[in-house]
Each structure stands twice: as structure tokens, then as C-alpha cells.
Amino acid sequence: MTHIQVISKEAHKILNQVDGDNISLSRPSVVILKVDRNNVKKIEKIGHDALITLDSGEKIIINQFFNDGTYHSENSLVFDDGESKLIWVQFTDENGALLENITYNYIDSIDPLLYQDDGTASPLAWAFIPTAAAGILWWANDSDNDYVAVAPPTKPATPEGFIDNEGDKTGTFPGGTETDDTTPSIIIGPIEAGETPKLIVDGQEVESVYDP
């Protein structure tokens, strides 16, 4: 059984919480499932309902999650992995358009998903997406309603330091500091036998020479 918590977007209060595999919604809500997103096999839209299937075979149904025959919804789905990590499952953009692939995004709290005092959606929900997403869900090839989880890319490790040989300040400096040397020597930690490290700058691999 999965712990399911339903929080009203308007009242900011818990409407329901159960240990089970089925829950129904009657007003705009944030639905928090106590599951590790790595254990989610797929998410399907069945009519107005959301069906979450776990790797274990367990199926969780959220009745009336979607408003109509489209993917528009006033409800939000969040996974809680039990390690103080909340992951918002984003189906649409801020205009309600279905995303080509839905995203998993880390959030610090559900506050940006709740309604403001005037009953409108908070714009913070769309400005709150962090630079590093928790992962993505792609459309599966065998069904229009089927999603398959894709593991996020591994974040490159920060170099331990670098050696600056140009400009006013030369010498060895710790990682994360600035340099005016366009070709500094990067200092990295130990690597696995047979591996060749790559230098990633602003998300792009740049040419480099590894000297063990």
C-alpha cells in the first residue's frame, strides 16, 4: 500500500490521507504519493483518472485527476521519496498545453503549487523549476497514454582545482573560483581504471587533453 495525501489548493489544508491504491478528488488539489520516482514504471491517463504503475506491479488510481478529455488538470501530482525530496510531475506548461515529454522536477515545498489568496494559481509554480531536473518521462511508442521513466543524466563532478599559468594571478586555486587563463590545467580526483575523463563547461563537452 502507498501513503497518499491530498491537500486543497484553495484552503491549503489536508483533505484526505490514506494508505491504499485508490483515491478520488473533488476540488483542485495537490496529490502527494509516498513513492520513489525511480520505482515508477509508467503513468497513464484513463478517461479522467491518472493511473500510476510501479515496478512492483502495484497500481495507484487517482480518480478525477484530469478535468476533461484533454490532459488539462487543476490538480498537481507530487512524489515524496521519503528522504525530504519532493518531485513535481509536470504534464503541461503554464498555458495548459501538453508537454511533448512530461518532466520530474525537484521542489522544496508544495507552496508554489497552491492557489493564492485570490484563488488564482501561483506564477511561482512556473518560475520554480530548478536548473537540474530530476528526470523526464517520454511518450512510449506503443500507446498514446503511456509514459516510461527515463533516468536523468549524471551531473558532472566539480573539479578539485586548477592551475592558472596566465594573467595577474598565477598558481593553484580551488575549484569554483575564477581564472583569466583560457587553458588552465584542471585538477580532478581519482578515476576508474580505463576511463578517460571529459571536460564539461556550461553543459557542453569542450576539447581537453588528459594527463594522468
Which residues on neighbouring strands pair with residue 211, listed in sequence order?
A: none
Q: Are 83 and 66 in contact (CB under 8 A)?
A: no
Q: Are 80 and 40 in contact (CB under 8 A)?
A: no
Query: What contacts 39, CB < 8 A, 6 or more positions away?
Result: 54, 55, 56
Higher pLDDT, 204 or 163: 163
Average pLDDT, integer, range 149-163: 58
**% pLDDT > 90, the chain:** 25
**For residue 80, is pLDDT > 80?**
yes
Higher pLDDT, 69 or 2: 2
For residue range 87-103, list pLDDT tens digits in order.
Answer: 888 877 766 666 666 77
How much is the pTM?
Answer: 0.61
Pairwise CA distance, residues 169 & 167, whole Å: 6
Q: Determine the pLDDT at residue 81.
A: 82
Instruction: Spell 40-58 as b/e; 16+ CB within 10 A means b.
Output: bbbbbbeeebbbbbbeeee
